[in-house]
Amino acid sequence: MSHSGIGMTSQRTRERLIERIRAQGVRDEKVLSQILNTPRHLFIDEALSSRAYEDTALPIGKSQTISQPYIVARMTEALLEHGPLENVLEVGTGSGYQTAILSPLVRRVYTTERIESLLSQARSRFHQLRLINIRTRHTDGGLGWPQYAPFDGIIVTAAPLGVPLALVQQLRVGGRMVLPVGDKDKQALVRVTKTEDSHDIEMLEAASFVPLLDGVK
């Protein structure tokens, strides 16, 4: 991996990003250190590299975006809050940035993406960064990945209109899912915890994600 000598990847620039995320209330040091140590500029087009450590979402092509670092940190923290997780399903690989943040914090990540070209770029980044506990699949992730269910955790990085029951079914009892829910005018980040006979929903904060879409491309 080469990120030598370029100002935008300087330690100071990344530390400033961490300070911003901390100021917004993220407390999990493991998550913050993952954000500090993950080269976000490798997950976006070179033309945008100078903005890689700004706390904003950026375009990654195909009308999709790499999530804002704060929201990645917040979702990861919410997912891991009640103890470590073994196997986690991710819906919406996109650039692979969220996957890379999560990968060292759990035993295995199963990540799904409906747009093949984005997934293949993400795969080569995982390879380049030697993240070997990630399994990828080109599929409609709204249907989950039944072969590896039940999951201890699920993270969804595109917004369905409501909580997808197919995903709740693939959580183990006590497992949790963090996802944005709603349309582009009114969207909230929520955490769903699976119970013996149903599930609980907690509202976390307002959110603004691209929509979860059906089918593959």
Cα torsion 193, 194, 195, 199 to 10°: value is: 80
> Could you say which DSSP state residue 53 is in?
T
Distance CA(138)–CA(112), nearest Å, equals 6
Q: In the bound complex, what is the minimum distance in angstroms from residue 196's beta carbon to ligand SAH?
A: 28
Question: By CB under 6 A, what part of segment 181-210 binds ligand SAH?
Answer: 210
Among 53, 97, 126, 151, binds ligand SAH (CB under 6 A): 97
The reply to whether 115 sits near ligand SAH by the rule CB under 6 A is: yes
Residue closer to ligand SAH by CB (options 85, 145) is 145
- CA distances 186 to 138, 144, 166, Å, are 29, 24, 23
Q: Which x/- pattern over 25-54 shows residues binding ligand SAH (rule: CB under 6 A)?
A: ------------------------------
Q: In the bound complex, what is the minimum distance in angstroms from residue 197's beta carbon to ligand SAH?
A: 27
Which range touches ligand SAH (CB under 6 A), out of 13-21, 47-55, 114-122, 166-174? 114-122
DSSP per-residue string spanning 76-124: HHHHHTTS--SEEEEE--TTSHHHHHHGGGSSEEEEEES-HHHHHHHHH
Contacting residues toward ligand SAH, per CB under 6 A: 64-67, 91-92, 94-95, 97-98, 112-115, 118, 140-142, 157-158, 210, 212-213
